Structure 1
Amino acid sequence: MGAHRTSLTAQLFRRMPVGRRPQTEGGLKRTIGLVQLVGFGVGATVGTGIFFVLTEAVPVAGPGVVVSFVIAAVTAGLTALCYAELAGSVPVSGSSYSYAYATLGEVVAMVVAACLLLEYGVSASAVAVGWSEYLNQLLDNLFGVRIPHALSYAPEADGVVNLPAMVLVALCAMLLIRGASESATVNTIMVGIKVGVLILFIAIAATGWNSDNLSDFAPFGVAGIQAASATIFFSYIGLDAVSTAGDEVKDPARTMPRAIILSLIIVSTLYVAVAVTAVAAQPWEDFEGQQAGLAQILEDVTGSTWPSTVLAAGAVISIFSITLVVMYGQTRILFTMGRDRMLPPIFARVNPRTLTPIPNTIIVAVVVAVIAGLVPLNWLLDTVSIGTLVAFMVVSLGVIILRRRAPDLERSFKVPLYPVLPLLSIAACLYVISGLALVTWIVFLIWVAVVLAFYFAYGFRRSTLRQDVDDEEVAP
């Protein structure tokens, strides 16, 4: 037995070594290249905000929602640079959970894990909820039929269950079980379609431009713009999704930073362009409660149903892509936590034939499907935003800490203007998060408390790092 036991504080803040876990037999397979990884980033992001978050954000900010998108884009951009540095320095799966584990310690990593479980699990459900709206729009335009209200909405929205959302989750789970490479290829095709559809929207909506719609630009002032930016931030989680794939990316130290930055450029450009043309083409008062909003705008501008049919089809494909990538990210975070023994070993079990974590994927699919089927969209968006923002702040802080603790570590990308940009990133996240409602904070803090209770009951004693220390102490 060693001379003394490690103190409680030291155990809580024990850090995973940087550069851990080389590829081992029975692990995940490196099959994802740069184009596919950019597809992951764009696939998880473009569409989430644009296709249905406008109906939540425009009534809060008015036409000033364009500024809300810019604020969210700048905040995400600052954080994306920090992600790019850590993705090149700590090129493993697990996203900001792994980064926090390597820089801030185990207990902080579990708080971040709580954020990521909110960010991915709840956002996958939220996106799936929106799928049914566009599916109904498409079916109505093509065949004149709609799925009954009782089977398209959660109980809180006067329905019984959102069945299309649950079917979507099941389809994504089946694809993820087949393999990461197959999922990435299908996603890349869907991303190409969705980007094309959004460019079509921008072109057509611009023909309905009415400057009068922009005259009352900020009806609720700065507070409205800030509140909308907090909700819109929900739509930038795709940048995080890139960093969940570290164990399956070819040459991750170089590929991941490039994919994050390229995804940010594509996403921000499309978001702002769509937001500007949308609020210029339709009075901001008409957005509230509007279903399949972008499709309706095109129908009003053209007086024809074909553009809205194309957009609705693009949205159906797009939201499938988002759900697929977000569920992928959730399973890989849980896989990493299972490998660290912070979760039961079933989460790290990989099928030897498909090289995918099948039990993990099934568990995620069941939870996401239940939430998507029974919980309305407006309950979900702000909860996702707070989880995302806290995780983003930890990543920015992690860059500063790792620069101090490991100044000579090889970095394939470095944040420019260090330490100004990481500090600005933290400040921007704090600004956006301050716009969230008190009830969102209460839900978030209760959730973090639940996750930490599980950590102290399970992960604290079983952690890989705890096991390593115990092995050293009993060694002769």
Structure 2
Amino acid sequence: MTLTQLTLFSVGATLGTGIFVILGEATPLAGPAVVLAFVLAAVTALFSALSYAELAGTIPISGSSYSYAYATLGELVAWVAGWCLILEYAVSVSAVAVGWGQYLNEFLRQVADVVIPEALAGPPGSGGVVNVPALVVVALATSLLLRGASESATANVIMVFVKVGVLLFFCVVAFSAYDAGDLTPFAPMGAAGISAAGAKVFFSYIGFDAASTAGEESRNPRRDLPLAILLSLAIVTVVYVLVALSAVGAMPWQRLAGSEASLAKVLTETTGATWPSAVLSAGAVIAIFSVVLTVMYGQTRILFAMSRDGLIPRIFQRVSPRRQVPAANTLIVAAFIALLAGLVPLGRLADATSIGTLFAFAVVNAGVVVLRRTKPGLRRSFRTPLYPLTPILGVVFCLFLMSRLDSATWLTFLAWTAFGLLVYIGYGFRHSRLARGAR
């Protein structure tokens, strides 16, 4: 992959359900100050992005924060980080797939006056039986991934341009109905509301590190990986702030709150016409599909790296000789994601994704400090500025946002981590590359 492909790969993995769907769930927590919640989440992501950039340029291999933790903090910490990444990627794809179904339903309603039956459009707990659209988008992404990495990257570039264009179209239309009065009071829930919303919308930034999962499929990884990570975060942050500001300025935030297809609702109410929301919904269907595609790709490469280190079974590292992709790995991941997407509600999926990601990001920031101390002479194509303040603040911000998530999310995270440690003790520790070397 080239620098452009890597950058758009990370943008493709990031721009999706977070802004198209989570905005409606975060607005009740902060009111119009949800704009600042996106900024808070961006600052948290920036500290981690700088650390990712340094490690990606220093250790340019597949596996993202799992591989970085393995090289800096040892096997056990790497296992926990990798286990959290499994939660992050698999659950985030499931959440994105749920959001895809919501916008597909909105598009069909606007264009053909057809609505997918409630039983087939949502999981149990949300008035449905199984989310069939979510299963469909996972199957489509799987079929494209099995064709090869270059084909997936090319398709993603096209879809990224489409979704950025659609979001800019939304901003133009929404700003035409902008009313400064809708921003008053700006922060009705105060700083506590902004931080709580920041923890929720952090889900929107998950994916900027996707380029780091493609370290072994990059043409010039030492130069391109750091640049791709930082460029993608900058692009995504600008788009998010513009979209959030135009949305809360176009209509009272109370009406935006709780809407699933929140951006489509803004366009319908502000223009009084259906075609703008139909255009947006069509763009969202394409946009969210690209997130499913790129994040599933990242998940398979992380599992590939873990399998290569012996921590999970060898089936995850087997590569198809014809397509040069981990085919069995991809099919197993697709089955697991489809199960979650079809049966679990979006809100719970998003929160579980955020906490796993924040923990993995904290590990990456700590890894920068450790590697600077243990191997100061190592070749680094990018150095985190203001070291050691930047990675330390990265850890602090990640832990702060983790503390703002609810107790149910923490219980899910702790249970997942405990289960992961049992898997490591029962399989990974005995089969790992380090254990084989000791024997």
Normalising by structure 1, we get a TM-score of 0.91
Q: Is the 8 A contact 2:13 2:291 kept in 1?
A: yes
What do the CA deviations read for 1:38-61 (whole angstroms, capped 9, x no partner)?
111100111232100011100111
Residue 306, structure 1, aligned to residue 288, structure 2: no
Shift of 1:469: 2.5
Name the count of aligned residue pairs: 439
Correspondent of 1:272 among 226, 230, 241: 241
Where does 1:321-332 land on structure 2 (aligned, <5 Å)? 321-332=290-301
Shift of 1:240: 2.0
Show structure 1 runs of 4+ deviating over 3 A: none
Residue 108, structure 1, aligned to residue 77, structure 2: yes
Equivalent-residue separation in structure 2 for 1:248 and 1:159 (angstroms):
40
Shift of 1:142: 1.3
Residue 410, structure 1, aligned to residue 416, structure 2: no
Correspondent of 1:287 among 225, 236, 256: 256
Where does 1:436-455 land on structure 2 (aligned, <5 Å)? 436-455=405-424
Equivalent-residue separation in structure 1 for 2:78 and 2:17 (angstroms):
26
Q: 1:438 is matched by which residue type in structure 2? A: S
Structure 1 window deviating more from structure 2 (352-361 vs 233-242): it is 233-242
Equivalent-residue separation in structure 1 for 2:37 and 2:275 (angstroms):
30
Per the alignment, residue 259 of structure 1 pairs with 228
Shift of 1:164: 0.4
Per the alignment, residue 436 of structure 2 pairs with 467
Equivalent-residue separation in structure 1 for 2:96 and 2:15 (angstroms):
12
Shift of 1:304: 1.3
Per the alignment, residue 347 of structure 1 pairs with 316
Per the alignment, residue 27 of structure 1 pairs with none
Residue 175, structure 1, aligned to residue 144, structure 2: yes
Equivalent-residue separation in structure 2 for 1:230 and 1:117 (angstroms):
20
Per the alignment, residue 19 of structure 2 pairs with 50
Where does 1:236-251 land on structure 2 (aligned, <5 Å)? 236-251=205-220
Q: CA RMSD in A?
A: 0.9
1:76 is paired with a residue whose SS is: helix
Structure 1 window deviating more from structure 2 (357-366 vs 289-298): it is 289-298
Q: Is the 8 A contact 2:17 2:100 kept in 1?
A: no
Residue 98, structure 1, aligned to residue 67, structure 2: yes
Equivalent-residue separation in structure 2 for 1:293 and 1:68 (angstroms):
17
Per the alignment, residue 170 of structure 2 pairs with 201
Q: 1:219 is matched by which residue type in structure 2? A: P
1:53 is paired with a residue whose SS is: helix
Equivalent-residue separation in structure 2 for 1:268 and 1:121 (angstroms):
23
2:146 is paired with a residue whose SS is: helix
Equivalent-residue separation in structure 1 for 2:84 and 2:230 (angstroms):
22
Equivalent-residue separation in structure 1 for 2:251 and 2:18 (angstroms):
18
Shift of 1:293: 1.1
Residue 397, structure 1, aligned to residue 354, structure 2: no
2:125 is paired with a residue whose SS is: helix
Equivalent-residue separation in structure 1 for 2:387 and 2:334 (angstroms):
40
2:188 is paired with a residue whose SS is: coil
Q: 1:260 is matched by which residue type in structure 2? A: I
Equivalent-residue separation in structure 2 for 1:384 and 1:430 (angstroms):
15
Structure 1 window deviating more from structure 2 (102-111 vs 289-298): it is 289-298
Per the alignment, residue 218 of structure 1 pairs with 187
Shift of 1:287: 2.1
Which structure would you say has the larger Rg?
Answer: 1
Q: 1:398 is matched by which residue type in structure 2? A: G
Correspondent of 2:53 among 72, 84, 90: 84
Normalising by structure 2, we get a TM-score of 0.99
Q: 1:245 is matched by which residue type in structure 2? A: A
Q: 2:323 is matched by which residue type in structure 1? A: T
Equivalent-residue separation in structure 2 for 1:426 and 1:398 (angstroms):
10
Equivalent-residue separation in structure 2 for 1:282 and 1:166 (angstroms):
33
Structure 2 segments unaligned to the other structure (5+ residues): none
Q: 1:373 is matched by which residue type in structure 2? A: G
Q: Is the 8 A contact 2:174 2:246 kept in 1?
A: yes
Per the alignment, residue 106 of structure 2 pairs with 137
Equivalent-residue separation in structure 2 for 1:111 and 1:404 (angstroms):
22
Structure 1 window deviating more from structure 2 (312-321 vs 422-431): it is 422-431
Q: Is the 8 A contact 2:47 2:393 kept in 1?
A: yes
Percent sequence identity is 58
Q: Is the 8 A contact 2:16 2:96 kept in 1?
A: no
